[in-house]
Amino acid sequence: MAEQPLLIVSNRGPCRFTRGPDGEVTAQRGGGGLVTALSGLAAVRPVTWIASALSDEDAEMAARGPYRDGDLTVRMVVHDREEYDRYYNVFANPTLWFIHHYLWGLATEPSVDRNVRLAWDAGYVPVNQRFADAVVAELESAEGDLPPVMLQDYHLFVAPADIRERVPEAVIQHFSHIPWPMPDYWRVLPPEIRQTIHESMLACDVIGLHTARYVGNFLASVAQFTDARVDTEAATVHFRGRTVRVTSRPISVDPEEFDRLAASEAVLAEREALQAWRPEKVVLRVDRTDPSKNVVRGIQAFELFLSDHPEWEGRVTLLAKLDPSRQDIPEYTEYMGAIQRAARTVNDRFYTTDDWQAVDLRISDNFPEAIAGYAEYDVLLVNAIFDGMNLVAKEAPLVNDRDGVLILSENAGAHPELGEHALTVNPFDLQEQADAIHTALVMPEDERRNRIAGLRAQVREHDITRWVEALMDDLARARPEAVER
Ligand code: F6P
């Protein structure tokens, strides 16, 4: 029997369109962890993917109808520019993103002003409605069983209620790729907004989160902000005559993809360049320039380590490979500046020579260079303030050739799975991070080898296929007769 078709819905889609020098518009693969993780699904079953048109070329292609590539159909939703700006650059980021990652310094920010309310009323809500319209149109035109709807991430919190109201028999799953914060932090938002978000989420059949900690927070949130009945032990919520299951499903990576990437010509060329450049030891971080990633404290911790251990001056560099992110948002441009200032402060303090500098900041979107860095690190620093999962912590050990040591924030979603093989740090504690860098650099070889073997075994066993299967099982339980595995 043919595999059941799926309807995936996310803000950023599996492809984007660009115009070449010949004027032809062609499809490129879209970026980001979510897209990579879900793209595999399209290889094994028919998928219709609804996503935002993010450029003029995307909108141009959307006007021509859905784009088809084998069993994958991409339907792009074209938004009003201003509405989308309020939705993406004000409400989803930074307002929601900062709530989910506890990034607001509440003594001074945020102020829920006219701008934020406008971003909700005339941005987030209507853009979610456009997505719901597209989903409902797909469901209404489906032949046979309705395809399950798989909504992704914090961009789409209020679409579920709309879809449920218009297609009551729909099977709806929502997966959040970011942490779910503690209930009190939601109180940043006005009561009617936080209630609308939580009630809409309860229009789903299944809600997926990365870790048990996030599941606990979600259950506590809906208990506070809705009149639902929560069964914490069963991780179910009873709301308006329906039962919603909340599951912990840690996302992962495709190890074979990283085996292939590591052997690719582009990565090998970058490795050669890194080998020509490298000092005796390399401490690597690979991140988007997002405040949640804690880049500034990472640089400060490295400075502290060098001042505590002057014998390492000239021998080890912090290589920070950073992908510029969300630069239309003031909080992000300011953070980029803070990163650059922090690196400058350290490099001014420690004498830079022709062969060595303390911090090497490389701000560019260069994926092959990042993978080459994965192969070359001695220490990998993942000190996120809070992070949904952090796929770097899973990807890099697969590729690493130097028995590198992982330093991992206790607040990364990857920590429950990888923590026993890593050096755990509190992301706010500079001294602990500085000490961890030193411990990692002087760690005996057999301990390093055991730790990285543990990391690889964990990731290879709990790979992306397993995550996708878990999501399919969740859908099957939501409507057993409709979703075949
Ligand atoms: O981590 C959540 C997530 O939505 C990822 O799926 C994505 O890669 C990342 O945030 C970046 O989001 P954006 O591309 O909108 O900046």
| Mutate-to-test residue for ligand 1 from 8, 10, 16, 34, highest number of ligand atoms within 8 A of CB | 34
Can you tell me which atom of ligand 1 is nearest the CA of 290?
16
Q: Is the pLDDT of residue 485 over 60?
A: no
Q: Is the CB of 153 under 6 A from ligand 1?
A: yes
Q: Tell how far the Cα of 147 is from the centroid of ligand 1, in angstroms.
A: 25
CA distance 292 to 413: 13
CA distance 300 to 26: 43
Q: Is the CB of 12 under 6 A from ligand 1?
A: yes
DSSP state, residue 50: E
Q: Is the CB of 392 under 6 A from ligand 1?
A: no
Q: Is the pLDDT of residue 272 over 50?
A: yes
CB 403 within 8 A of CB 455: no
Q: Tell how far the Cα of 33 is from the centroid of ligand 1, in angstroms.
A: 7
Residue 481: pLDDT band (50, 70, 90) is low
| Closest CA relative to residue 398, chosen from 262, 270, 281, 251 | 262
CA distance 346 to 297: 12
CA distance 366 to 168: 45
Q: Is the CB of 329 under 6 A from ligand 1?
A: no
Q: Tell how far the Cα of 29 is from the centroid of ligand 1, in angstroms.
A: 15
- Of all protein residues, the one whose alpha carbon is nearest to atom 6 of ligand 1 is 34
Q: Within a 10 A sphere around the Cβ of 374, how many other Cβ atoms?
A: 26
User: Per-residue pLDDT averaged across 44-66, rounded?
Assistant: 94
Full set of structural domains in the chain with CATH: 79-252+466-478 (3.40.50.2000), 255-462 (3.40.50.2000)
User: Per-residue pLDDT averaged across 166-177, rounded?
Assistant: 98
CA distance 151 to 204: 9
Q: At what angle do helices 430-442 and 295-308 cross, to 10 degrees?
A: 60
Q: Tell how far the Cα of 31 is from the centroid of ligand 1, in angstroms.
A: 9
Tell me the pLDDT tens digit for each residue of 239-265. 999 999 999 999 999 999 999 999 999
User: Per-residue pLDDT averaged across 401-420, rounded?
Assistant: 98
Q: Tell me the pairing of strands 379-382 and 25-29.
A: unpaired
- Of all protein residues, the one whose alpha carbon is nearest to atom 11 of ligand 1 is 32
Q: Tell how far the Cα of 326 is from the centroid of ligand 1, in angstroms.
A: 10
448 backbone φψ class: left, alpha, beta (φ>0; ψ -120 to 50):
alpha
Residue 34: pLDDT band (50, 70, 90) is confident
Q: Tell how far the Cα of 316 is from the centroid of ligand 1, in angstroms.
A: 31
Tell me the pLDDT tens digit for each residue of 353-364. 989 999 999 999
Mean pLDDT taken over the chain: 95
DSSP per-residue string spanning 416-470: HHHGGGSEEE-TT-HHHHHHHHHHHHH--HHHHHHHHHHHHHHHHHS-HHHHHHH
DSSP per-residue string spanning 361-421: EEES--HHHHHHHHHH-SEEEE--SSBS--SHHHHHHHH-SS-PEEEEETTBTTHHHHGGG
In the chain, % of residues over pLDDT 70:
98
User: Per-residue pLDDT averaged across 197-224, rounded?
Assistant: 98
User: Per-residue pLDDT averaged across 69-76, rounded?
Assistant: 93
CB 464 within 8 A of CB 254: yes
User: Per-residue pLDDT averaged across 377-400, rounded?
Assistant: 98
Enumerate the H helices of 45-124 as residue ranges: 56-63, 81-85, 97-100, 114-119
Rounded to two decimals, the pTM is 0.96
Tell me the pLDDT tens digit for each residue of 103-136. 999 999 999 999 999 999 999 999 999 999 999 9
| Closest CA relative to residue 402, chosen from 348, 355, 440, 438 | 440
Give the pLDDT confidence score for residue 484 in this predicted structure: 46
Q: Which residues contact 183 (CB under 8 A, 6 or more apart)?
A: 217, 220, 221, 223, 224, 225
| Distances from the Cα of 94 to the Cα of 84, 333, 370, 431, angstroms | 14, 12, 26, 29
Give the pLDDT confidence score for residue 2 in this predicted structure: 56
Residue 40: pLDDT band (50, 70, 90) is confident
Give the pLDDT confidence score for residue 39 in this predicted structure: 82
Tell me the pLDDT tens digit for each residue of 280-331. 999 999 999 999 999 999 999 999 999 999 999 999 999 999 999 999 999 9
Residue 480: pLDDT band (50, 70, 90) is low
Give the pLDDT confidence score for residue 1 in this predicted structure: 40
- Of all protein residues, the one whose alpha carbon is nearest to atom 7 of ligand 1 is 32
Q: Is the pLDDT of residue 266 over 50?
A: yes
DSSP state, residue 352: -
Enumerate the H helices of 86-206 as residue ranges: 97-100, 114-119, 125-141, 159-166, 183-186, 191-201
Q: Is the CB of 254 under 6 A from ligand 1?
A: no
Can you tell me which atom of ligand 1 is nearest the CA of 288?
11
Q: Is the CB of 34 under 6 A from ligand 1?
A: yes
DSSP state, residue 102: T
